[in-house]
């Protein structure tokens, strides 16, 4: 263990609530608890069995602060692997702070952000990928992000990375042993086996890296931009998706002049959705700035929703928008399908596919006003990004930029091994790059990172976790 002092923190939100939890962790946790706890039967907590719950009062100078339930967990069978006291009290802001103050007064120090999880990592209860998953669970904003984080917490990434590292260290050790003892260990024919294994491992790492974009979308949400001509129904669509009147809707063209951003949850998927100014030629300076912003956001978007006013003819402004969405994941919505539709799916297809015959794009008839076609639209988004089946299996998604960088470094190192084999380099060159790959992968689980990086990672956690 790296830390021997005892820490305390509030582990629930500091706001009025039904209950609050103050956690005390460290070798003096039971001693401190005895000083501030008064049971109905006069029993000491330090004399009680682990993983039991006790009813009584928290006191300070014989003054009762609150009526509580206290959970006892002795190390190593606790979250951090150390002795742990969890005080379940009433969730008033003042009372929970007073209990924390009492714990600190009698020997604990205030915990740093993420210090409980940091101790769990340092004490070997979690590897770094699992510890980061804890933070991701807390910040999850949709069902898929939660499932992905739980998968990582179960150790799916750890198992995969450790398996790859075991293979790499086997080859490294074999080469070193053969070079040290060539009389008894032969390298004849070994290079072919090494090349096959390295190619397979490269393929496995490439598969993990390929999940990073979906992993980012799972964690952060789909960056979505709504485009269309003025008065096509973009703001009405946003209001339908959000479930409230967030955007002003009028019959006047150009009502939306600036960018309006909303975060919504759609069938378990997060969309960071942006309503933009209508794309058209205008002399209004403010409107033109809004249109340029819309184009900039569209360039960076994961998804573009192109809203077509199906009650009016397609014009040069629609053609400009079709050029903007080229090569982007897009959905075309023929809005105002409750009115007489002048524009049909075939009309849009003929224009779009004339410009981009190799592309395919979903086109849906909707009515933002009547809330028609929205369910089909939601289903298509889910299928478009996650094949409609995300997180219903044990597939690993890399959601962490730090982990992605480590995988890329490992891939580059292993690729050098292949280059050395092709060039007919001596075997000791292989072991250098194999070890570099081994070290890079160790950064994912936390086995090969320094204290400064550990501190930086856990400083981003919330207080009390």
Q: Which helix (H) or strand (E) holds 286?
A: helix 285-300
Taking every pair of Cα atoms in the chain, the longest distance, rounded to a whole number of angstroms, is 88
Quote the pTM value.
Answer: 0.75
247 and 111 together in one domain = no
254 and 353 together in one domain = yes
- Predicted confidence at residue 281, as pLDDT, reads 60
Helices (runs of H) and strands (runs of E) counted in the chain: 16, 13
180 and 255 together in one domain = no
Q: Please list the rounded mean pLDDT of every run of 10 residues in the chain (465 residues).
A: 78 91 96 93 90 95 94 95 96 95 95 92 91 85 78 89 94 88 81 92 94 80 85 80 53 49 77 76 63 78 87 82 81 85 80 65 83 83 64 70 93 94 87 94 88 81 80
CATH of the domain at 343: 3.40.50.300
42 and 143 together in one domain = no
Separation between Cα atoms, residue 284 and residue 457, nearest integer Å: 47
Coil/strand/helix, residue 255? coil
Does 80 map to a domain?
yes
Does 431 map to a domain?
yes
- Predicted confidence at residue 255, as pLDDT, reads 41
Q: Of 108, 125, 142, at which residue does a domain stop?
A: 125
Separation between Cα atoms, residue 242 and residue 409, nearest integer Å: 41
Separation between Cα atoms, residue 27 and residue 81, nearest integer Å: 11
276 and 307 together in one domain = yes
- Predicted confidence at residue 381, as pLDDT, reads 81
CATH of the domain at 146: 1.20.120.430
Q: What angle do CA 105, 111, 114 make, to 5 degrees?
A: 165
240 and 374 together in one domain = yes
Does 462 map to a domain?
no
| 340, two tokens | 């007489």
121 and 16 together in one domain = yes
| Structural contact between residues 337 and 369, judged by C-beta atoms closer than 8 angstroms | no
| Structural contact between residues 99 and 87, judged by C-beta atoms closer than 8 angstroms | yes
What are φ and ψ of residue 304, in 5° steps? -115, 130
| 251, two tokens | 């019959």
Going along 279-417, which residue ranges are E strands? 303-309, 330-335, 363-365
Q: Of 83, 104, 125, at which residue does a domain stop?
A: 125
| Structural contact between residues 347 and 322, judged by C-beta atoms closer than 8 angstroms | no
Does 39 map to a domain?
yes
Does 49 map to a domain?
yes
Tally of domains within the chain: 3
- Predicted confidence at residue 319, as pLDDT, reads 79
Does 78 map to a domain?
yes
Q: Of 83, 98, 125, at which residue does a domain stop?
A: 125
| 113, two tokens | 């952000």
- Predicted confidence at residue 327, as pLDDT, reads 76
329 and 403 together in one domain = no
Calculate the alpha carbon distances from 171 to 63, 82, 423 in Å. Answer: 66, 38, 19
| Structural contact between residues 438 and 172, judged by C-beta atoms closer than 8 angstroms | yes
Domain that holds residue 198: 131-211+398-446
228 and 342 together in one domain = yes
98 and 157 together in one domain = no
Tokens 């006892």 -> residue: 72
Q: Is the dihedral of CA 123, 126, 127, 129 positive or negative?
A: negative
Does 461 map to a domain?
no
245 and 379 together in one domain = yes
Calculate the alpha carbon distances from 76 to 26, 39, 50, 82, 120 in Å. Answer: 11, 25, 11, 5, 10
Q: Which helix (H) or strand (E) holds 270?
A: strand 269-275
For residue 321, the number of C-alpha atoms closer than 13 Å in the C-beta half-sphere is 31
DSSP state of 372: B
Separation between Cα atoms, residue 45 and residue 255, nearest integer Å: 66
- Predicted confidence at residue 247, as pLDDT, reads 42
Coil/strand/helix, residue 89? strand
| Structural contact between residues 279 and 308, judged by C-beta atoms closer than 8 angstroms | no
Tokens 């150009």 -> residue: 254
**What is the torsion angle, in degrees rounded to the nearest 10, for the CA atoms of residue 70, residue 76, residue 77 and residue 81?**
70
| 257, two tokens | 């002049």
Does 255 map to a domain?
yes
243 and 321 together in one domain = yes
């Amino acid at each position: 263990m790296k830390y021997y002092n005892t820490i305390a923190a509030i582990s629930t939100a500091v706001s009025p609530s039904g209950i609050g939890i103050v956690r005390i962790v460290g070798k003096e946790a039971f001693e401190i608890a005895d000083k501030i706890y008064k049971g109905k039967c006069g029993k000491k907590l330090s004399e009680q069995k682990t993983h039991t719950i006790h009813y009584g009062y928290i006191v300070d100078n014989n003054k009762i602060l609150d009526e509580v339930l206290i959970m006892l967990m002795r190390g190593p069978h606790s979250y951090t692997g150390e002795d742990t006291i969890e005080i379940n009290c009433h969730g008033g802001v003042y009372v929970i702070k007073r209990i924390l103050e009492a714990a600190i007064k009698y020997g604990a120090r205030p915990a740093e952000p993420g210090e409980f999880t940091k101790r769990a990592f340092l004490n070997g209860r979690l590897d770094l990928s699992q510890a980061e998953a804890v933070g991701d669970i807390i910040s999850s904003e949709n069902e898929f992000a939660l499932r992905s984080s739980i998968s990582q917490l179960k150790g799916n990434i750890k198992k995969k990375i450790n398996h790859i590292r075991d293979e790499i260290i086997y080859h490294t050790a074999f080469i070193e042993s053969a070079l040290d003892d060539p009389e008894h260990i032969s390298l004849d024919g070994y290079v072919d086996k090494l090349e096959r294994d390295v190619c397979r491992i490269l393929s496995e790492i490439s598969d993990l890296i390929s999940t990073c974009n979906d992993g980012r979308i799972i964690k952060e949400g789909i960056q979505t931009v709504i485009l269309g001509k003025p008065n096509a129904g973009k703001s009405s669509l946003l209001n339908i998706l959000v479930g409230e009147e967030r955007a002003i809707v009028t019959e006047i063209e150009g009502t939306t002049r600036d960018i309006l951003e909303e975060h919504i949850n759609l069938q378990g998927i997060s969309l960071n959705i942006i309503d933009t100014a209508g794309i058209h030629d205008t002399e209004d300076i403010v409107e033109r700035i809004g249109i340029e912003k819309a184009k900039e956001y569209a360039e960076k978007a994961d998804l573009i929703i192109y809203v077509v006013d199906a009650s009016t003819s397609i014009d040069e402004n629609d053609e400009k928008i079709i050029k903007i969405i080229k090569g982007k994941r897009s959905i075309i919505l023929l809005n105002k399908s409750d009115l007489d539709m002048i524009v049909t799916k075939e009309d849009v297809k003929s224009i779009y596919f004339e410009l981009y015959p190799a592309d395919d794009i979903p086109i849906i008839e909707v009515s933002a006003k009547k809330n028609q076609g929205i369910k089909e639209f939601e289903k298509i988004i889910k299928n478009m990004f996650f094949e409609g089946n995300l997180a219903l299996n044990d597939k690993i998604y890399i959601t962490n930029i730090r982990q992605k960088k480590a995988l890329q470094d490992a891939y580059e190192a292993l690729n050098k091994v292949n280059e050395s084999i092709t060039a007919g380099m001596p075997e000791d060159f292989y072991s250098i790059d194999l070890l570099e790959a081994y070290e890079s992968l160790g950064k994912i689980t936390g086995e090969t990172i320094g204290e400064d990086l550990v501190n930086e990672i856990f400083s981003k956690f919330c207080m009390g976790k």
